Structure 1
């Protein structure tokens, strides 16, 4: 679905660019038949961005979401209906005369366009952030699920709206072209990132909401929380579950015979961390224990990091610096350990 939306969006952008060139090159003087329709297109890009983000983050929008996001476009069409129903030459005359009615309409459209841009950029950012928080509460390694590149696309749209506000036509055209190139690159090259299992319990949003409400109302008491936490610590200490790079919340919940929501609540309340931070802290501690052992001096830093459960150098370095306030090499230097 994400690919179909991206393809449709590129087609819409292409048509919009043709109208854009036609309008600003003065071609509309010879061909006024499309005059006025270019105003509708800026209101389509925001919904397309948001719907694309929803699909990429695994929440395929239903018919209700499609219809809701189509309402702003429909409203603009109705607002312009009086102008668009005029003959092409009458529309051209209204545009060239710059009468008060047309000026007022143009001003209203401009502010609505800016509002649409702000709203949909904010909605898209919120959707990506929600996805990021969701995978951090479910998975211990999120490198393959990282969708930070979506922020580039959202930033690109934001830059286009800024260019629209300052009315720089060349800048608008240049940013749009660059945006298409970037969107095409990430949309195609990052497609593998999307081939991951869906987040648990996310197939039915209503069912998920009911589960959340249920577990909020039936929150385990302090004694139950401590009991589950002791079992968790025992499993981590004795079986070193964190060494599994594919470890996720559901796996541990099944081992402890508790609901994933309950286990997540236990980790949050006792450790004051989400699942991702909790597991990676365990991995860092394991690395610190093993790296100082003489028999491990023959290995590389990265090989030991992988042994501890990390699945990439980037993830290891980022988490190590986050918890230790120094890089792995700096830590080893302080310990008088020389490794590659």
Structure 2
């Protein structure tokens, strides 16, 4: 039953992706990945139900399917975080799967009865070494690509926080959780050969992947924006050596910082929910790298932390004004540039050490 549920969900999610407006490269990768998962589940359903004996030529088609699951996870993560993989890189990542198929050619050449006896009845055969090779390569690939994706997501999150003032739907925490779930499935495969446990986990995995994948918005609106944000992603610790390397002189940095403070005071750019480092740099008529370095040096914050700190300060100002007395806390937070209650509460607590409501009570603004 769990095979059928998984296949149905995979097909449904693929249809939803096809019907989705303005599909991205990530959507296309996700659709192809779901198709591979659906085929994998379909194969095991055919084996589990015994229907595969009517189509013995299908036996062995699963040799490389487990191996490509981790590969597609990596492809999907790269399509979301950028830069996209080149054709040559894609071919290189898929090469082990192709080699595994080539190694299995002697099995494909066997008669239908012999293949049915090996797969369905588990009779002794001369291909135990291939079973070991398949299982080993599957686990090595699965764990390796999962760890690579966790590293990508961590690196991406740091880059995003240095480029965007709002990180809603951009940090890919759900992809990190999905990857941890896939690692859990690999662990079940490693310590148990019970298909019920394994494919029950796969069904949950497909549901989680489809739900969040379909709802994942495009992080970078264009390739040019992606390239700009990638180039402006630097370390938080800015040293004298880094300043010299970037060509930014101390005197110039001081001038830009003064203009930054003035711009924030007069135009209050932090009130724009989707303000990016690139947009701020354009207003200052300098480069994103320079702005990032200056904020790091003078404020000891990332761009993300700096802008949201200004938003908290704005909240502390407007909450005392009579015209905002009828506003809810969330409404005031959104007036200050925040897009969600959770993000506002997080930054407010980090900066003030208290909750917004506690501050309002102390100021006798609420009862």
Instruction: For 2:133 and 2:325, locate their aligned partners in 1 and report how far apart those are by CA, in whole Å.
Output: 69
Q: Which structure 2 residue ranges, 5 or more long, are not aligned?
A: 1-24, 236-241
Q: In structure 2, what is the equivalent of residue 321 of structure 1?
A: 349
Instruction: For 2:277 and 2:224, locate their aligned partners in 1 and report how far apart those are by CA, in whole Å.
Output: 9
Whether contact under 8 Å (2:161, 2:302) holds in the other structure is yes
Q: In structure 2, what is the equivalent of residue 155 of structure 1?
A: 180
Q: In structure 1, what is the equivalent of residue 146 of structure 2?
A: 121
Choose the corresponding residue for 2:70, options 43, 46, 50.
46
SS in 1 for 2:291: helix
Q: In structure 1, what is the equivalent of residue 310 of structure 2?
A: 282
The alpha-carbon distance between structure 1 residues 323 and 44, as it changes in their structure 2 partners (threshold 3 A), is: same
Greater displacement, 114-123 / 60-69: 60-69
Q: Deviations over 1:98-152 (max 9, x none)?
A: 35x5333322322221111111112222233333222221111122535333234
Instruction: For 1:46 and 1:215, locate their aligned partners in 2 and report how far apart those are by CA, in whole Å.
Output: 40
Q: In structure 1, what is the equivalent of residue 124 of structure 2?
A: 98
Q: Which structure 1 residue ranges, 5 or more long, are not aligned?
A: none
Whether contact under 8 Å (2:63, 2:101) holds in the other structure is no
Q: How many residue pairs were aligned?
A: 333
Greater displacement, 146-155 / 133-142: 146-155
What is the Cα-based RMSD across aligned positions, in Å?
A: 3.0
Following superposition of structure 1 onto structure 2, how do residues 63-74 of structure 1 map, counting pairs within 5 Å?
A: 63-74=87-98
SS in 2 for 1:273: coil
Instruction: For 1:145 and 1:94, locate their aligned partners in 2 and report how far apart those are by CA, in whole Å.
Output: 48
Matched, 1:270 2:295: no
Whether contact under 8 Å (2:166, 2:338) holds in the other structure is yes
Q: How far off is 1:172 after superposition?
A: 1.0
TM-score by length of 2: 0.79
Instruction: For 2:292 and 2:84, locate their aligned partners in 1 and report how far apart those are by CA, in whole Å.
Output: 25
Greater displacement, 107-116 / 84-93: 84-93
